[in-house]
Structure 1
Amino acid sequence: MTPLIYLGAALAEIFGCFAFWAWLRLGKSALWVAPGMVSLALFAWALTMVESALAGRAFAAYGGVYIVASLGWLWAVEGARPDRWDIMGGAVCLLGAALILFGPRGH
């Protein structure tokens, strides 16, 4: 369930941030901000659903998922295909996220 929560959180965060980008950098209407803020609140709520006793660990692992989801956004929404460096970097980030979240703990 955690990977799905992370994916949903990433999409919510990326859309929320892109709404501000569209308004401030692409000249879109300021009306983009309202759904962007709702999306950012949904992102924050979603991260609280991750099965982790520690927020910092949940947030750190999420970072890798966010990076890969951002590369997907780059391709799907902005029309720029990730290059081999993007893909390799994303793979390293996902590996790091998995180590942080699922690595054995000495507790």
Structure 2
Amino acid sequence: MSYLQPLALFVLAGLCEIGGGYLMWQWLKADRPGWTGLLGALLLVVYGWVATWQPTSFGKTYAVYGGVFVLMSVGWAWYFDGFRPDRFDVLGGAIMLLGLGVILFWPRS
């Protein structure tokens, strides 16, 4: 159960950052209304706050989150933008997932 809380926080932070960035992108690049950009900016602020809920240090949290961000970004692009990951995207994601597991969960002495 102790593994689920940090993972859930990384996913929540990812949704806030990617969702916020996506809404800002839509506002600035796809001519969406101003409230879209405002909501995106608010989500980006919430992302910064959610990231502080992790029990690990800043550096470790952001190192792991960087990998989570890449994986979630590919999934976001697939779902929302019709991007179809190829085998190299999947392989890269699997390698990143392995690395995240080592950084976050490997037993330390």
Q: Which residue of 1 aligns with 2:62?
A: 59
Out of 79, 83, 86, the position equivalent to 2:82 is 79
Alignment TM-score, normalising by the size of structure 2: 0.87
SS at the partner of 2:107?
coil
Moved over 3 A (4+): none
Q: Which residue of 2 aligns with 1:35?
A: 39
Out of 47, 69, 73, the position equivalent to 2:72 is 69
- Which residue identity lines up with residue 76 of structure 2 in the other structure? W
Q: Is the 8 A contact 2:64 2:100 kept in 1?
A: yes
Unaligned runs of 5+ in 1: none
User: Deviation digits for residues 49-101 of structure 1, max 9, x if unmatched?
Assistant: 1121x111011011111111111101111122211111111111121122222
Unaligned runs of 5+ in 2: none
User: How many angstroms does 1:31 deviate by?
Assistant: 2.2
Out of 97, 100, 106, the position equivalent to 2:100 is 97
RMSD: 1.3
Alignment TM-score, normalising by the size of structure 1: 0.89
Instruction: Identify which range, 69-78 or 25-34, moves more after superposition.
Output: 25-34
Q: Is the 8 A contact 1:63 1:97 kept in 2?
A: no
Q: Is the 8 A contact 2:16 2:47 kept in 1?
A: yes
Q: How many residues align?
A: 105
Identity within the alignment, %: 37
